[in-house]
Amino acid sequence: MTLAGRSAIVTGGGSGLGADLARGLAEAGATVWIAGRRMEALERVADGHHALRPVHCDVTDPASVAAMFEAAGTPEIVIANAGAADSAPLHRTDDALWDRMLAVNLTGTFYTLREGWTRLRKAEWGRLIAVASTSGLKGYPYVTAYTAAKHGVVGLVRATALEAARSGVTVNALCPGFLETEMTDRSVANIVDKTGMSDVEARAELAKNSPQKRLIRTGEVTAAALWLCGPGSEGVTGQAISISGGET
């Protein structure tokens, strides 16, 4: 499978899953714009990769998202990956936490997909992909705001896919379980701080959510994204694809 001649945008591309997605698309032949708020991190990811091009973007700012697309032109592949996960029990979830989780995880995805679809509406081929989470498919305790936002992302994808159904553009969500990334490292640190567990115990606690009893590798999510961009995926749209070791 080759993406030679294609271009892509990946938000949240400065670390973790976003960086892996960007590298995977570039290795498949695409020119990839990696977007985020921290230019130093983006430049580290892009260093040595002629097909990776950093661009500043705050996905919670629609003007910034529009400027990102102006810099990149009209990429055929748009991956809304930028996100954050803060945890607190519901009774301690204040307005600021709630607003922050919805802004980056849901509204930022909305701005990114809206701009991508606006530019791709008349395209013969395109892929809009949102990185959601198993939190978009089920509930987890202590992450009510994050879970609500990711449920919103899945709904956004399903509705957009119906609008795009008669075009050459497919719209899907990837829903990984707990990943081996910096975001999970922060979750582990929070568990250690709140419970007194060791780092190993905290990771094992998160891995319990998966029937395979392990964290998901970023490469597994990238492989799913590449499949959605490859031949034979034309009929796959409006789906929330769980990459979670069988978690339900």
Q: Compute the distance between CA of residue 71 and CA of residue 161 in angstroms, rounded to an integer.
A: 26
**Among 111, 140, 142, 146, which one carries the catalytic annotation?**
146
φ and ψ of 77, to 5 deg: -120, 120
Query: Strand, coil or helix: what is 6?
Result: coil
Contacts of 47 (CB under 8 A, 6+ apart): none
Question: Distance between alpha carbon 59 and the CA centroid of its chain, in Å?
Answer: 12
Query: Which two structure tokens, joined as six digits, stand for 117?
Result: 């679809």
Q: Compute the distance between CA of residue 142 and CA of residue 207 in angstroms, rounded to an integer.
A: 17
Query: Which two structure tokens, joined as six digits, stand for 19?
Result: 């960086």
Place of tokens 């700012």: 61
146 is catalytic: yes
For the chain, how big is the Rg over CA atoms in Å?
Answer: 17
Question: Distance between alpha carbon 185 and the CA centroid of its chain, in Å?
Answer: 17
Nearest Cα residue to 164 out of 136, 137, 124, 132: 124
Question: Under a CB-based contact definition with an 8 Å cutoff, are residues 118 and 66 in contact?
Answer: no
Q: Supply the DSSP symbol for 228.
A: H
List residues with catalytic annotation: 146
